[in-house]
Amino acid sequence: MTVSTARLRTALLSAVPGAALVAGLLMPATVASAAVLPPADGVITAIDEFVLEPPIGDCCGPGSDPMDYGVWSPDGARMAMISADSRLVILDAVAKKLYPRGNVALDLQSRPSWNPQGNGVAVASGGDIVVLSAATGSISRNLTSTPAITERNPTWSPSRIIAFETPAGVYAVGDTGGTPVLRVAGASHPRFSPDGKHLAYLKAGHLFYSKPDGTGEVDANLDVVDFDWSPDSTRFVALMSDATGWGSTDTWVTTLTGAGVRPVASPGSSAKSFSWQPVPRPTAAMASPTRVFSTSGGIPVGWTTSKVGMFGTVADVRYRSMPALGGPISSFRPLRTGTYASASPFGAAPGTRYCFSVRSRIPKLSLTSSWSTPRCTVVPVDDRALVATGPWARTAQKGWLAGTGSVTTTKGATLTSRSGLIRRAGVVATTCPTCGRIAISVGGTRIGTLSLYSATTQRRLLTVPISTVPTGKVSIVVLSSGKKVAIDGLAVDSWVDNPA
């Protein structure tokens, strides 16, 4: 299938002036002072002499005629347009490509409309309203069959109603077909709000809106030549009209009542229509660490962020730390800022609990997600930080916490930590065919025993279940005699799951 690149002008609804969003796809638009722009919740795309540049094969012929209409899909990832030779074209904003769809001859002077699912497009063809497959461009069904009456500008509501313009006014029909019903006499350019609660339309160039059935009409106090709804259904973007109709160059964003009008594009724009692109707020989540205890000094930290249409997202990752046995919680510290990566190594200190969280940002739109739920992990207390009683050999151990270990074969030998409230407890130790047994006690009370036997020699994390939450010094007590006990660290945690 032949594809081509495309260019559009955009205005950003954010504190950032208009700028190129995707190289070769969206071109800059002049934007008024950032102080008067509404909060960021989308991008206004001005269909301004939209040109498909040759050579483009069978897409649109050798010319470069402008397109007057383009409509973003509900997810903001694709735009439906009608080519200069009257065929459906889909702009894939993520792939930055234009895809011709089918050979159905369409009305160039009619705006297309997506269904809520984003897999169908309502268009005008031969004066009738038809539904095309967004994937193939083939006709899914004919909604009207009145060749003597020109019908155009369909609009698809979330409640599966399609309204459209006729010389007599705005009619509506179910999206599976039926008998069209007049909703608003003398109206044109119908547009359902994204939430389906209102139907907007023009009467003699004046903007009105009503309930979806055409009742309860409200004057928006604007004379316009084209308009579109904001994704949250609370505002319009409108191309203001003058005595010559299309001659206006002023573009505004306004509330439904016409109050709070704000300029978007300064004079000089030749835009003929607009589509307000939905841009969902990005999301982010921590993927790792996944274990309660991390038995090495390096913690693999990973995260995921949502992909939002054509817009690049970056991640900010932060962490805070606290002593495993209780103590002050640190302030948040940055691990990565504005990164496109999804993972990072982290050097950790023994005896410390770390909690990581992430947020995602679209820098060009100043859209930011909430900070994610943190993921926490504890690096066990190193053996050298424990007070030894009895004969222990302090040895160097490659790959162990701090590169050290404590070894004994003497029954009753102990390693003891400072006092703390204990929610989880265990050891990092060697297990082997000739290794012994140990007990874990808190405040002098035994809370569990552990066998260090295994068929092969391994370095393992072993934990004991805790039914209550005792407080006191934690001791590793050797129960066996003449058998090897090699301790790397004390795995303890005083904290609830996510204190950060």
Mark whether 451 and 374 lie in a shared domain.
Answer: no
pLDDT for position 13: 38
pLDDT for position 63: 37
Check: CB of residue 313 under 8 Å from CB of residue 81: no
* Dist CA 492 CA 381 (whole Å): 7
Coil/strand/helix, residue 492: strand
- For the ranges 27-31, 216-220, 495-499, the lowest mean pLDDT is seen at 27-31
Mark whether 244 and 356 lie in a shared domain.
Answer: no
* Dist CA 276 CA 238 (whole Å): 11
Answer with the one of 278, 309, 332 that is the final residue of a domain: 278
Does some domain include residue 426?
A: yes
Check: CB of residue 459 under 8 Å from CB of residue 488: yes
Q: Work out the pLDDT band at 272, boundaries 50, 70, 90.
A: low
pLDDT for position 241: 63
Q: Residues 409-456: pLDDT tens digits? A: 999 999 999 999 999 999 999 999 999 999 999 999 999 999 999 999
Check: CB of residue 211 under 8 Å from CB of residue 198: yes
Residue 249 has pLDDT above 80, yes or no: no
DSSP 41: S
Q: Residues 193-221: pLDDT tens digits? A: 999 999 999 998 899 999 999 999 999 88
Check: CB of residue 278 under 8 Å from CB of residue 75: yes
Residue 349 has pLDDT above 80, yes or no: yes
Mark whether 352 and 424 lie in a shared domain.
Answer: no
**Angle, CA of 445, 422 and 349, to the nearest 5°:** 125
Does some domain include residue 272?
A: yes
Answer with the one of 278, 293, 314 that is the final residue of a domain: 278
- For the ranges 68-72, 89-93, 284-288, 380-384, the lowest mean pLDDT is seen at 68-72
Mark whether 122 and 219 lie in a shared domain.
Answer: yes
DSSP 410: -
Domain range enclosing 103? 8-278
Q: Work out the pLDDT band at 38, boundaries 50, 70, 90.
A: very low
Count of the separate structural domains present in the chain: 3
> Which of 365, 393, 370 is closest to 484 using CA atoms?
393
Q: Give the CATH number of the domain where residue 486 resides.
A: 2.60.120.260
pLDDT for position 401: 93
**Angle, CA of 94, 313 and 283, to the nearest 5°:** 105
Coil/strand/helix, residue 383: helix
What percent of the chain is predicted at pLDDT more than 70? 80
pLDDT for position 102: 87
pLDDT for position 45: 74
Q: Residues 67-112: pLDDT tens digits? A: 567 899 998 888 898 887 888 988 887 777 788 888 899 998 899 9
Averaged pLDDT for residues 374-383: 96
> Which of 441, 445, 438 is closest to 479 using CA atoms?
438
Residue 49 has pLDDT above 60, yes or no: no
Q: Work out the pLDDT band at 33, boundaries 50, 70, 90.
A: very low
Q: Could you tell me the two tokens for 120? A: 């169908």
Does some domain include residue 487?
A: yes
Mark whether 404 and 432 lie in a shared domain.
Answer: yes
Please give the residue that has the higher pLDDT: either 244 or 106: 106
**Angle, CA of 89, 94 and 98, to the nearest 5°:** 20
Q: Give the CATH number of the domain where residue 141 resides.
A: 2.120.10.30
Q: Could you tell me the two tokens for 287? A: 């993927």
Mark whether 179 and 317 lie in a shared domain.
Answer: no
Mark whether 373 and 388 lie in a shared domain.
Answer: no
pLDDT for position 265: 55
- What does the mean pLDDT of the chain come to? 82
What percent of the chain is predicted at pLDDT more than 90? 59
Mark whether 145 and 230 lie in a shared domain.
Answer: yes
Q: Give the CATH number of the domain where residue 310 resides.
A: 2.60.40.10
**269: which residues sit within 8 A by CB, 6+ positions away?**
9, 29, 30, 46, 48, 249, 251
pLDDT for position 17: 29
Averaged pLDDT for residues 13-23: 28
Does some domain include residue 83?
A: yes
Does some domain include residue 2?
A: no
> Which of 203, 204, 260, 206 is closest to 230 using CA atoms?
260
Residue 386: phi and psi, rounded to 5, are: -100, 145
pLDDT for position 247: 43
pTM of the model: 0.72
pLDDT for position 99: 86
Averaged pLDDT for residues 444-470: 94
Distance between alpha carbon 141 and the CA centroid of its chain, in Å? 34
Q: Please give the order of strands across the beta sheet that includes 273-278.
A: 26-27, 8-12, 42-47, 273-278
- For the ranges 56-60, 72-76, 191-195, 241-245, the lowest mean pLDDT is seen at 56-60
Mark whether 268 and 343 lie in a shared domain.
Answer: no
Does some domain include residue 111?
A: yes
Mark whether 96 and 233 lie in a shared domain.
Answer: yes
* Cα–Cα distances in angstroms (integers) from residue 181 to residues 155, 163, 237, in the given order: 14, 9, 28
Does some domain include residue 500?
A: no
Check: CB of residue 115 under 8 Å from CB of residue 164: no
Answer with the one of 262, 278, 294 that is the final residue of a domain: 278
pLDDT for position 488: 97
Mark whether 435 and 326 lie in a shared domain.
Answer: no
Does some domain include residue 217?
A: yes
pLDDT for position 259: 63
Averaged pLDDT for residues 152-179: 96
String of DSSP letters for 15-58 = SS----SSTTTEE------GGGSPPSSEEEEEE-SB--PSP-TT
Q: Work out the pLDDT band at 191, boundaries 50, 70, 90.
A: very high
Mark whether 458 and 473 lie in a shared domain.
Answer: yes
Residue with tokens 């001659």: 247
pLDDT for position 262: 65
Length of the chain: 500
